[in-house]
Structure 1
Amino acid sequence: MKQALIYTLKVTLTTLLVCLPVTFVIMMIYLRLLPLIASNYSVSVNLDIKDAVVFIALTFCTLLFNMKKKGGIAQATYNKRSIKINAFMASIAIFLIYLLLRGKLMTLSVDEFLITYGPSFLITFICMGVYPLKNENVQAKVI
């Protein structure tokens, strides 16, 4: 469980630290390119810090919840691909339900949603793939 906790902390802390600057840069690039795309189009992009924290907390919880081991008694190994996909999809689904319940999802257009929350999703998915999830050695006494 120690390796699972270390992996989860690495993913969530990296996402937390990288999410806001990257999202801000993408928002600024999008707003600069917007006059080139359409001259009379207005868009509102704003990332609520509380929403970002909720997404990070959901990712942390779903990662820990999906840490399932496979293997025998001597060694426990993690199926990183399964953990990554299940935790990522669960955190996004719960986050969308959270946004829907707060009334924020219906007010956003598709491009506003992707510009505002897309970088957070992408950074989390990349971090889940980049960081290694090591196997844990389980000490078993043979009697």
Structure 2
Amino acid sequence: MRSHVTRRARTRVAALLLAPVLALSAVACSEDEPVDPEAPVDVEVGEEFSWNGFTVPAGWEYDTITETVALEEQTHPLVRARVVNDGDEARSALFEFVFVAEGEALATVRCNSTEELAPEQEGDLFCPGYGEPVPEGYDTVVVQPVTRS
């Protein structure tokens, strides 16, 4: 009889220990909130990332470009990348990289695909940072929808 009580007690303890875990997993599984595909996402230079149904494969680069404007040399940030349309229909990529230091935006580089991309098609991203300062000492790069300022 004692063994029966001990077994019952162990079952209750196990149930009490598992209850919070099961409750948390039920909450996690029941959250059907849609994920915003245009929510800003932190990325690492050169590492693959996905945003808004597009994937930028590993190997993308941050660089600068120097050009002469009105007889004056100007240096701007530049992102060189490819992009893949992960969606179900043809569309163009359009987003921006924001280079941030300690929570403050240093430079914004707007990107768009050079052509409309069919599903699963890969193409070039055109990302000149015309008129933007070269971001020195950035600690974060954020990909987000194009903002008008």
TM range (shorter): under 0.3
Query: Which structure: greater strand fraction?
Result: 2
Q: What is the TM-score when the length of structure 2 is the normalising length?
A: 0.26
Bigger radius of gyration among the two:
2
Query: Which structure: greater helix fraction?
Result: 1
| Larger RCO (alpha carbons 8 Å, 6+ apart) | 1
